[in-house]
């Protein structure tokens, strides 16, 4: 006699995942409203605000449904320059907060031979994309959008400059491992780093809200890579100390306050 209490077909058993993302459900309606206003401030609202809001809610709902907590936002397409996003965020800078700062030798195209280029700074999605900046599940005093705190950025070594003398796991390796594990498990979704353009957009959104973005800690930008500028090997780093929007630099050594971000999106392929 056959055993009928067991399932006829095997069900999928979730693998033990390597990444440490905080579970939760972001507030879709609140985020969609703020994101829509941010796009309006950027001059990207178009003629139908109701349709914009509906589309943002639809994609934000899909992202929130995966079960990770974080910051829902819209990442503008590559036709929208980083300078424009920053300038718009600065237009919402609270009274008493210092103006935008950048380390020109690295962040201003053409200042030095190895400064970031216009194309690199403006690289983004082909179309405006809904994204979720995922929070880390590791509790620290620093912003939850920062992952891999206390790890070296890479294993860079030249002459006497050794970032990772003990050859421990790096932030770049951690990001690569998370992307591989995440996309193998969450079909229909993508994972990538949280970059400087997203950071500027999150700053704009939070200034609309009246709160600070990344008020504790700094975020390194892997996609822009390590550069040798004015004889120093550095990595781009963004932050928001005291509410000020800052595009600065790091040497890439392990720091408890330097992390990298994770950004989840929908696979449109």
Parse the chain into domains and list their residue ranges: 77-266
Which strands sit side by side in the sheet containing 189-193, from one edge to the other? 70-75, 129-134, 262-266, 189-193
Cβ proximity of 137 and 70 under 8 Å? no
Q: pTM score, two decimals?
A: 0.90
Separation of first and last alpha carbons in the chain: 48
The helices-and-strands tally (H runs, E runs) of the chain is 7, 12
Q: What is the pLDDT of residues 128-138, one digit of tens each?
A: 999 999 999 99
CB atoms within 10 A of CB 139: 8
All residue ranges of the chain with pLDDT < 50 are 11-16
Name the residue among 35, 214, 52, 224 with its Cα closest to residue 132. Answer: 35
Distance of CA 24 to the CA centre of its chain: 18
Cα–Cα distance for residue pair 265/63, rounded to 1 Å: 7
Q: How long is the chain?
A: 269
* H/E element, 264: strand 262-266
Any idea what DSSP says for residue 266?
Answer: E
pLDDT at residue 236 in the model: 98
Read off the tokens for 266: 């929908």
Q: What is the pLDDT of residues 205-258, one digit of tens each?
A: 999 999 866 668 999 999 999 999 988 999 999 999 989 999 999 999 999 999
CA separation (Å) from 165 to 48, 156, 160? 55, 9, 11
Cβ proximity of 83 and 42 under 8 Å? no
pLDDT at residue 7 in the model: 56
Burial of residue 141 (CB within 10 Å: 0-12, 13-18, 19+) is exposed
């Amino acid at each position: 006699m056959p055993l009928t209490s067991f399932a006829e077909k095997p069900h999928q058993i979730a693998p033990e995942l390597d990444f440490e993302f905080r579970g939760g459900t972001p507030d879709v309606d609140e985020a969609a409203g703020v994101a829509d206003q941010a796009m309006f401030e950027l001059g990207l609202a178009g003629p139908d605000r109701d349709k914009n809001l509906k589309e943002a809610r639809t994609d934000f709902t899909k992202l929130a449904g995966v079960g990770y907590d974080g910051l829902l936002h819209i990442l503008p397409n590559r036709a929208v320059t980083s300078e424009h996003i920053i300038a718009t965020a600065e237009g919402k800078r609270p009274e008493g907060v210092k103006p935008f700062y950048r380390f020109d030798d690295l962040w201003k195209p053409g200042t030095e031979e190895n400064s970031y280029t216009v194309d690199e700074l403006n690289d983004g999605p082909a179309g405006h994309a809904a994204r979720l900046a995922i929070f880390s599940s590791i509790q620290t005093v620093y912003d939850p959008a920062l992952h891999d705190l206390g790890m070296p950025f890479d294993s860079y070594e030249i002459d006497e400059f050794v970032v990772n003398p003990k050859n421990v796991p790096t932030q770049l390796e951690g990001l690569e491992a998370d992307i591989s594990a995440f996309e193998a498990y969450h079909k229909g979704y993508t994972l990538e780093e949280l970059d400087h353009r997203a950071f500027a957009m999150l700053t704009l959104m939070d200034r609309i809200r009246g709160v600070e973005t990344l008020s504790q800690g700094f975020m390194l930008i892997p996609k822009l890579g390590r550069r040798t500028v004015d004889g120093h090997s550095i990595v781009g780093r963004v932050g928001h100390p005291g509410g000020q929007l800052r595009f600065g630099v790091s040497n890439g050594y392990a720091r408890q306050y330097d992390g990298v971000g994770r950004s989840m999106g929908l696979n449109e392929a």
